[in-house]
A and B are shown apart, each in its own frame.
Chain A
Amino acid sequence: MLRIAQKEELQKMIDGFLADYEVIGPRELPGKGIFYQPITNAQDLYLGERFAIEPVKKFFFRPSEYLFEGGLKEGSEFLEGIPLAQNKRMIIGVRPCEARGLALLDKIFNTEYKDEAYVSLREKTILVGLSCQAPGKDCFCTSIGGSPVQARGMDALIFSAGSKYVIEIITDKGKDIFDTCPKEPDKEEIKAWESLKEKSNAALRKKIKIPESLDNIFESGYWGKVSSACISCGVCTYLCPTCHCFDLVDEERKKLRCYDGCAFSDFTLEASGGNPRPTKMERYRQRVFHKFDYFKKNFGEHLCVGCGRCIRHCPVKMNIAEIVDQAPV
């Protein structure tokens, strides 16, 4: 189902959403980059081609979350859950790769095991995407089952077409909110939209080959070599739309869940002092295997959406796409 709107009309619609929803979207912070933040006005939105540094993951699987509080109160024990967020949200300007990332996260947090915090946030949020027309040099979504115009995981997807926007409505939720936009594109406009999609796909130049399995190179010296520059920080995992490892910590009387990443040296540190992944080699290999081997074996697809964030923001220019592409299978 398609709709078409003038740029001003869409802005007006968004301003209208602000009454009922907490609206979040990409904003440009000068000199810093693009960040998803709550907006108070459609003017705040940045709907250009540059990517947000952090993916929308953080609004669902949050960087840190207090899960419950417990201890002694007046001499007796107590345990209280911390209330889940209740308000309705809408995120506008989500990129296809990030939305696809959420679809992958759903496999973890919203399939067999239902993570209360995650599920409630997912249910309360409408996702309105924005297609990519000038993907970055580190993007490789088309090599891994995605595309700059894919609508998977979204409620609606917007395409910028000159002075207008074409809105592709995917779900009922999407239909509900874009009720206010009755105009459908004519034949000409649909044709233009089709060719726009083709052009977008073509603009994504980087192609990599992903081996069927990495099993036979687990012991390869390759991993030691490619991981040597890694500084063991959390940039790649924290900015990844699909990484979902976390740590549980006791803070005062609360249980805190916060991001953790396989690059950190103490990620698998055991209480005994032992560590099955003592060096960068084991840790980096784990990251590649988890994304490009194990996950596919367990869930049927790779745990990577090809957004290129881990490449773009790696402080030492580690390039997972090249590393996978050149893996000596």
Chain B
Amino acid sequence: MSEELKNKAKELLTNKKVDLIIGYQRAADGVLAAPCFIDSQDDAEKLIWDSYCVYNLASYLKDFPAKRKGIVVKVCDLKSITVLLQENQVKREELLIIAASCPGVIDEKRLNPLDQQAQEIVFAGKCKTCKTITPAYYDILINEPQKNDKLSEIGQDEYEPVRKLEAKSIEERFKFWESEFSRCIRCYACRQICPLCYCPKCVAEQITPGYFSKGVNLEGNLSWNITRAMHLAGRCIDCGECERACPVGIPLRDINKKIEKEIKELFKYEAGLSVEQKPLLSCFDKSDPEDFIK
């Protein structure tokens, strides 16, 4: 598959169909993958495509305004481009989407940090309940889409971790999250890696007024994490990059998935379905539930 990708990339660059291609290359350690930005035919040799290509490269689109960008996209990540298009952050005509049939990607956190060799692949949580096989749209398709047999665990509940937490008492939940958030160092890797956190200046950085404490303390950390989650409500497409990027292992996907589950149940809303879709919080239905309102 990598070969097919390389050839396509060369062709695109030679024919000047794109100015650059955002893709994956082998990382310096020779095992993992890293993002790469290819603007010459020779560099196209670097491109790879395998289970180590975890990154959602849509985050990089903002770095190249007004350029014609080819981008290698996993089917699941395509939805984040849909949201970016919805929110006018990229122009479709500047995009050339190279959809790649996805073999499932690794869970980086499960790699042994001391081991220097290639290890057995443990698939990321999101891949285990992945339902998408065919990309909704694309310009170039690399290899026919097919489901990896190892991944299709029929009937696996994507919200299982959420339900487990929901089943706990409110006090237990507070203790759980208090302990998780206590490790937050406010490095904002979760924000920076997120393709949808593109605000010119995040509210977390604003000072007059400051919206919540920049201090690494419970209030500050809780406020930041709630704000991040709220700002992704109805937008998050569960690429899981925030959780992957978090150096201290806060289960951020469990928060995103909770909101995803609630809005599906409450508002019949799913993020990233189409470019024309109205943002969740910019619209409403007169019959939205309101049982908690007095």
Interface residues of A (CB under 8 A from B): 29, 31-33, 35, 49-51, 53-54, 58, 62-64, 66, 134, 136-138, 228-229, 231-235, 237-239, 247, 249-251, 256, 258-259, 261, 264, 266, 280, 312-313, 315-319, 322
Contact = CB atoms under 8 A, between A and B. Distances in A.
13 contacts: A31-B249, A35-B183, A49-B114, A53-B247, A53-B248, A228-B35, A228-B63, A232-B192, A258-B214, A313-B247, A315-B244, A315-B245, A317-B32
A233 B245 contact: yes
B237 to A, nearest CB: 18
A31 to B, nearest CB: 7
B289 interface: no
A256 B34 contact: no
Nearest to B210: A251
Pairs A-B, 5 closest by C-beta atoms: A32-B249, A234-B187, A315-B245, A233-B192, A63-B216
| Residue of B60, B63, B113 with most partner-chain A CB within 10 A | B113
B113 A312 contact: yes
B38 to A, nearest CB: 11
A32 to B, nearest CB: 3
B34 A33 contact: no
Contacts of B126: none
Interface residues of B, number: 43
Nearest to B184: A63
Contacts of B187: 233-235, 237-239, 261
Contact of A259 (B29, B59, B115, B186): B186
A256 B215 contact: yes
Interface string B188-204: 11011100000001000
B4 interface: no
Contacts of A251: 210, 213-215
Nearest to B59: A231
A116 to B, nearest CB: 18
B245 A235 contact: yes
A322 B28 contact: yes
Contacts of B113: 33, 50-51, 136, 312
A239 B217 CA distance: 17
Interface string B109-138: 100011110000000000000000000000
B36 interface: yes
Contact of B214 (A231, A238, A249, A313): A249
A233 B207 CA distance: 19
B27 interface: yes
Contacts of A233: 187-189, 191-193, 245
Nearest to B183: A35
Nearest to A229: B35
A31 B125 CA distance: 13
Given A63-B216, A231-B59, A137 B186 contact: no
A137 B31 CA distance: 12
B35 A316 contact: yes
B37 A228 contact: yes
A234 B189 contact: yes
Contact of B193 (A231, A247, A259): A231
Nearest to A254: B215
Contacts of B241: 315
A66 B205 contact: no
Given A247-B214, A264-B188, 10 more contacts: A29-B249, A53-B247, A53-B248, A231-B192, A233-B189, A234-B188, A251-B214, A264-B205, A317-B33, A319-B27
B66 interface: no
B266 interface: no
A127 to B, nearest CB: 21
B29 A63 contact: no
Nearest to A322: B28
A54 B210 contact: no
Given A31-B249, A316-B35, A64 B189 contact: no
Contacts of B114: 49-50, 134, 136-137
B185 interface: yes
Nearest to A321: B28
B55 interface: yes
B202 to A, nearest CB: 9
